[in-house]
Structure 1
């Protein structure tokens, strides 16, 4: 298979929570997903067409439903562990979480979804082809898909952490009765305390992988990787600043810094955090002609401003995850009556009120598609 051939494939759903859809044959038929947009429409009485109203030139997206016909392979299951495997599948499906997919072109994406309906087939008995089949419908309640962050998304070799082998080992682990007393447990999973695979020692950050890694997800029978989203692992492995987004630094600054950055978000992104390093007096942060101003002097080193109104000041990068100083948003003014927006293509960032010679700016935003 050539690289051009596999990149033309449609979106492939690969995992929900920790339930990996092993190989392309784990999904029967064609998945169903319909995208619908938000706008108002009033039909003209004496002319063609209708009058439409929308919030912006780019339409907003409604929640949508994703229907999958799943076939979970059972040929490597022991009869003694069937109950544990089935319980694991049901527990994963009923838990709100992330649905992962490979988009056309090879981009790893995810959506926050919840189970809307579940239809079992053959009452969870073995089929002749060695699979358990059932239909699920997920509700993508935010309506959007997120492009995976290469610094917080990791790929685990699936053969080292297959959920079936994980459960089998857990099933026979004599310490499982004491599982609830261990530090590993977050949701009461026995398997979380039973195996080293939960320590993520073999996880590789998506940003460091080379070659057409995405091609491995189109194998018919097997899965090479399990996807793990873990911010804490990203901080420990790559450093806190890597999680703050695109970085821009300069020296010999005199009051103002300006730069352009490219964003590959398809939908306009409004969930934005700007983190500044340096010293500032009445700083103004402008993104694409939208200005946000803060009143006061900020000399601790780092200043973080988010589009949800949160403002933090701290001296060292690690403090943002620990106990940063929270600043009242009464010092904040939305000069244009709205927060920033990052659009697809080139965007402009301007920071004024810099009183130190050395300066850095980090901009983090959602990379959205549908």
Structure 2
């Protein structure tokens, strides 16, 4: 059974665990389209500049129940500090929707603490600003899931008890324990077996259950690059059908719901002044290349002639936008077309297309 409800599971390192920690969550957003009433006619005028409307920032109001009864006695005194440390820092907010893990950048704008006579419970209302206005579908090869129990929250944090009433120099105070470095806590889980790729079929049931343990989400680009080869992380691949021809032509599918301009193009092979066309819009990179050529969404162009050599930033003047075209590429939901003219008919060349897949 597919669950359509969106459940919020983590903010920064604060895991919203499955012990009824999330009491309520209300998400609201909107579109930037405005109207002007016609003075002598029915209705209003609305200006639409593109196929889709532009989104405004979103707001999320959440009520969290901090219940210390799920913790051991020596951890309870640090739990609220741990929560506030995460709320004070802008970062990633994660959610699960069906079997899709998504994230957006957010910060806490307002918070309030409700008074209660319960000894073990604190109710915290927080208002988050999701300032991008969109959510990103998680990259399955850069996201890792670490089995998480509420009792593990302080394992990689330097919480310790110091008696300020002691009349002693700082060097005399002995720490309770040396916390394990964060890298050690994470690195054991940064492998293919604990990646979203391998665990995708299991996460829906685990994240949606109402009790028990869950996962801590770790986003690590470098680990993804080390585990998988280029072909796995560079995106969808399309190659020449015949190395003796200079054209790469094909289609690729994207499940982005919001049209995405964050597209990274990687060309591997031999090319001279390559011309890249996606969904009818064309850009050209001047120069002769034999290796890896990368065009980012920001317009930066990098060239790596050999795997042993570092990437070199190409002069921006080598990036040409032909008349009648615009900067950047726009990818929509469904099938998208791509045509590459490598101007080289003697070698095999392939294109890799990486799209930041977006939703509301």
Corresponding residue of 2:189: 201
Distance apart, 1:139 and its partner CA: 0.5
Q: CA deviation at 1:121?
A: 2.5
Q: Is the 8 A contact 1:117 1:138 kept in 2?
A: yes
Aligned to 1:342: 331
Partner SS state of residue 273, structure 2: strand
Report whether the alignment pairs 1:352 with 2:341.
Answer: yes
Question: Contact 2:17–2:150 at 8 Å: present in 1 too?
Answer: no
For residue 23 of structure 1, give the secondary structure of its aligned residue in structure 2: coil
Q: Does 1:15 align with 2:10?
A: yes
Question: What runs of 5+ residues in structure 2 fail to find an aligned partner?
Answer: 162-169, 172-177
Deviation at 1:8, TM superposition (A): 3.0
Choose the corresponding residue for 2:126, options 136, 139, 160: 136
Query: 1:278·1:360 contact (CA, 8 Å) conserved in 2?
Result: yes
The alpha-carbon distance between structure 1 residues 331 and 290, as it changes in their structure 2 partners (threshold 3 A), is same
CA distance in structure 2 between the aligned counterparts of 1:208 and 1:126, rounded to whole angstroms: 45
Distance 1:247 1:165, change over 3 A: same
Structure index of larger Rg: 2
Structure-2 residue corresponding to 1:260: 251
State the secondary structure of the residue aligned to 2:69: coil
Question: Alignment length, in residue pairs?
Answer: 341
Structure 2 equivalent of residue 302 of structure 1: 292
Identify if the C-alpha distance between structure 1 residues 8 and 229 changes in structure 2 by more than 3 Å, giving closer, same or farther.
same
Cα displacement string for residues 55-109 of structure 1 (whole angstroms, at most 9, x for unaligned residues): 2120000011111001123114345433432222111111111000012x32110
Structure 2 residue matching 1:81: 3-state secondary structure: helix
Report the Cα distance in structure 2 between the residues aligned to 1:161 and 1:236, rounded to whole angstroms.
Answer: 31
Cα 1:54–1:295 change in 2 (3 A) is same
The CA deviation at 1:353 is: 2.0
Answer 1 or 2: which has greater helix percent.
1
Map 1:187-336 to 2 at 5 A: 191=179, 193=181, 196-201=184-189, 204-209=194-199, 211-250=201-240, 252-253=242-243, 254-299=245-290, 301-316=291-306, 323-335=310-322, 336=325
Residues 195 and 56 of structure 1: CA distance in aligned 2, closer, same or farther (over 3 Å)? closer
Query: Can you list the C-alpha shifts for 1:139-192, whole angstroms capped at 9, x where unaligned?
Result: 01010000000010111111498314555x8648xxxx99xxxxxxxxxxx856
Please give the secondary structure, in 1, of the residue aligned with 2:320: strand
The reply on whether 1:28 has 2:17 as its aligned counterpart is no
Check the 8 A contact 1:126/1:132 in 2, yes or no.
Answer: no
Secondary structure, aligned partner of 2:201: coil
Output aligned runs, 1:174-185, within 5 Å: none
Contact 1:24/1:219 (CA < 8 Å) preserved in 2?
no
How does 1:101-116 map onto structure 2 within 5 Å? 101-103=95-97, 105-116=98-109
- Return closer, same or farther for 1:161/1:334 CA change in 2, 3 Å cut-off: farther
* DSSP 3-state at the match of 1:211: helix
Q: TM-score, normalised by structure 2?
A: 0.87
Cα separation, 2, equivalents of 1:58 and 1:260: 22
User: 1:111 aligns to what SS in structure 2?
Assistant: strand
Measure the CA separation in 2 of the matches of 1:227 and 1:208.
14
Q: 1:262 to 1:218 in 2, by over 3 A?
A: same
Which residue of the other structure, out of 61, 67, 70, is the alignment partner of 1:67? 61
Contact 2:299/2:328 (<8 A) preserved: no
1:363 matched to which residue of 2?
Answer: 353
Whole-angstrom distance in 1 between the partners of 2:41 and 2:254? 41
Do 2:238 and 2:248's aligned partners in 1 also have CA atoms closer than 8 Å? no
TM-superposition CA deviations, 1:127-150 (whole Å, max 9, x none): 35x432201111010100000000
Is 2:55 the partner of 1:38?
no
Whether the 8 Å CA contact 1:17–1:98 is kept in 2: the answer is: yes
Q: Residue 62 and residue 317 in structure 1: after superposition, are their counterparts in 2 closer, same or farther (change >3 A)?
A: farther
SS in 2 for 1:69: strand
Matched-pair contact (CA < 8 Å) for 1:74–1:126: no
Q: CA–CA distance in 2 between the matches of 1:54 and 1:243?
A: 36
Please give the residue correspondences for 1:82-97 in structure 2 after superposition, counting only pairs within 5 Å: 82-97=76-91
Change (3 A) 1:61 1:317: farther
In the alignment, the residues of structure 2 paired with residue 293 and residue 57 of structure 1 have an alpha-carbon distance, to the nearest angstrom, of 25
Alignment gaps of 5+ in structure 1: 179-189
